[in-house]
Structure 1
Amino acid sequence: MTIVPEGLIPDLLTREASFEAVEKVFAAMAAGEAYNFPVVREAIGHEDALYGFKGGFDRTGQVLGLKAGGYWPHNLEKQGVINHQSTVFLFDPDSGRVKAMVGGNYLTALRTAAASSVSIRHLARKDAKVLGMIGAGHQATFQLRAALETHAFEKVIGWNLHPEMLPNLAKVAEEAGLAFEAVELTGMTEADVIITITSSFAPSLLAEHVSPGTHVACMGTDTKGKQEVEAALLARATVFCDEVAQSVSIGEAQHAVAEGLLAEADVVQLGAVINKSHAGRTSDAEITLFDGTGVGLQDLAVSAAIVEVAKNNGSAITVPL
């Protein structure tokens, strides 16, 4: 079995490799060549933690496995480690034997950012200039760096419930040579692309905060009850997702479907746009929205890429079974 510890992964995994792995697996999903297993995600009644499993099988890439982990909201203050904790396990699809164990924390942040950037690359207007950020936590910086590589953005604007965290975004924008401005939510109407990356259970971004022609990537809602944007926004938008079943059950679409504003049949897999079986954006005035719930196949695809690099450069740890 190959082991790739968490500490090695930042030196092995690039944003470009993450983007490519996620884009390919989205395409395989839409083509019916890859599928996710039902998600298990539970409040365990200890430390207010959410814990679960995401898994799947990619027939095209011959990748089988699962990610185990979740969200411990008090980690940073109590343990000095990030709140999201996870590990990925890969198995041989021919025998079922375990092949690899890969640290999942940095990987999760990078693959989540890759998913939103794939949506931005394929759905945002080509002339998008202003990038809006809702959320300024640990994952927001990954989101911002990846998104800035998709278009020739000229400015970043941001809002966070706790504004003292906004310098996290300002630093990334400054590194990219871009101006950063803290705004109220009403100021998001200036944005051509908006990324939401919070753990909220109540909507922050309302339909009135989004201008025609905007692409919105909703990346924080991955559990029943969570909500980052007003359901009415999904009714105004063309809605895309990583996986329809997750989108309507644990993603942003769960609320719009429950309110009768959106039907499951209205939600389109992003992979269909990548495969060119769906047109994607059809006008400069259209609002597009990506409901990124985070599917297990993303983690598996990126993990497989990490294992390959680690084996090739000799940094992987191999242990007998």
Structure 2
Amino acid sequence: MLIVPERDIADLMTREAAFAAVEKVFAAMASGDASNFPVVREALGHEDALYGFKGGFDRAGLTLGLKAGGYWPNNLERRGLINHQSTVFLFDPDTGKVSAMVGGNLLTALRTAAASSVSIRHLARPDAKVLGMVGAGHQATFQLRAALEQRDFEKVIGWNYHPEMLPNIEKVAAEAGVPFEAVELSGMTEADVIITITSAFSPSLMADHVSSGTHLACMGTDTKGKQEVEASLLARATVFADEVAQSISIGEAQHAITGGQITEADVTQIGDVINGTHPGRSSDDEITLFDGTGVGLQDLAVAAAVVDLAVQKGLAIEVDF
């Protein structure tokens, strides 16, 4: 078995490699060459933590495995650790034998940012100039860096439940040479692309905060009950998802489905756009929305890529297991 420790991930996995791995696996999912297993996600009743498993099998890439981990909301304050903790396990699909164990914390951040940037690449207007950020936590910095590479953005605007955290994303914008402005949610009407990345259980971004022609990447809702945007916004938009089944059960679409604003048939896998079987955006006035719930195959794709890089660079630790 090969081990790639968390400490080595930053020197191995780039945003470009994460983007390529995620885009490829989304395409494989849409073509039927890869499938995710049902998600297990439970409240532990200890430390307010959520813990679970995401897994799947990519027949095209011969990648089989799972990610185990979750969200410990007290980590940062009490222990100086990031709140999201996870590990990816890969298995040989021919034998079932474990082949690798990979630190999953940074990979989770990179694959989540890659998913939203894939949606921007394929669905945002080519002339998008203003990028809106709803959320300013740890993951938001990864989201912003990846998004800024997809269009020639001239301005970043941001809002957060806790305004004192906005310097997190202001710093990233400054590093990229892009002006930043803190706004109220009503100011998001200026944005051509909006990324929501919060852990909210009630909506903050409302339908009247979004202008025609905007692309939204909703990345924070991955659990039953979570919600970042008003359900009626999905009725105004053309809705895409990493996986339809997760979108309607644990993603933003869960609320619009329950409320009758949309049906399952109104949600399209983004892999269909990547593969060219769906046209994607059809006009400059259309609102497009990507519901990024985070699928196990994303984790497996980036983990498999990082194992290959670790072997090439002599950083993989081999143990007899």
Same fold, TM-score > 0.5, yes or no: yes
C-alpha RMSD of the superposition: 0.3
Letter in 1 for 2:274: I
Partner of 1:68 in structure 2? Answer: 68
- Percent identical pairs in the alignment equals 79
Deviation of the 1:46 alpha carbon: 0.2
Instruction: Give the unaligned 5+ runs of structure 1.
Output: none
How does 1:72-87 map onto structure 2 within 5 Å?
Answer: 72-87=72-87
Pairing 1:149–2:142 present: no
Q: In structure 2, the residue corresponding to 1:11 is in which secondary structure?
A: coil
Deviation of the 1:118 alpha carbon: 0.1
Pairing 1:255–2:255 present: yes
Deviation of the 1:174 alpha carbon: 0.3
Q: For the residues of structure 2 that align with 1:10 and 1:111, how far apart are their CA atoms?
A: 13
Partner of 1:33 in structure 2? Answer: 33
Q: For the residues of structure 1 that align with 2:96 and 2:157, how far apart are their CA atoms?
A: 47
Pairing 1:22–2:22 present: yes
Runs of 4+ in 1 over 6 A off after TM superposition: none
Partner of 2:202 in structure 1? Answer: 202
Deviation of the 1:93 alpha carbon: 0.2
| TM-score normalized by the length of structure 2 | 1.00
Q: In structure 2, the residue corresponding to 1:68 is in which secondary structure?
A: strand
Partner of 1:105 in structure 2? Answer: 105
Letter in 2 for 1:247: S
Task: Render the CA deviation track for 1:91-140: whole Å, top value 9, x for unaligned.
Answer: 00000000000000000000000000000000000000000000000000
Q: In structure 2, the residue corresponding to 1:93 is in which secondary structure?
A: coil
Deviation of the 1:146 alpha carbon: 0.1
Q: In structure 2, the residue corresponding to 1:12 is in which secondary structure?
A: coil
Instruction: Give the unaligned 5+ runs of structure 2.
Output: none
Q: For the residues of structure 1 that align with 2:256 and 2:30, how far apart are their CA atoms?
A: 23
Partner of 2:168 in structure 1? Answer: 168
Q: For the residues of structure 1 that align with 2:77 and 2:168, how far apart are their CA atoms?
A: 18
Q: In structure 1, the residue corresponding to 2:141 is in which secondary structure?
A: helix
How does 1:291-302 map onto structure 2 within 5 Å?
Answer: 291-302=291-302
Partner of 1:56 in structure 2? Answer: 56
Q: For the residues of structure 1 that align with 2:84 and 2:64, how far apart are their CA atoms?
A: 23
Letter in 1 for 2:157: I
Deviation of the 1:255 alpha carbon: 0.1
Letter in 2 for 1:291: D
Q: For the residues of structure 2 that align with 1:305 and 1:154, how far apart are their CA atoms?
A: 32
Letter in 1 for 2:239: V
Letter in 2 for 1:286: E
Q: For the residues of structure 2 that align with 1:241 and 1:192, how far apart are their CA atoms?
A: 19
| TM-score normalized by the length of structure 1 | 1.00
Deviation of the 1:73 alpha carbon: 0.3
Letter in 2 for 1:153: F
Task: Render the CA deviation track for 1:140-169: whole Å, top value 9, x for unaligned.
Answer: 000000000000000000000000000001
Task: Render the CA deviation track for 1:167-207: whole Å, top value 9, x for unaligned.
Answer: 00100000000100000000000000000000000000000
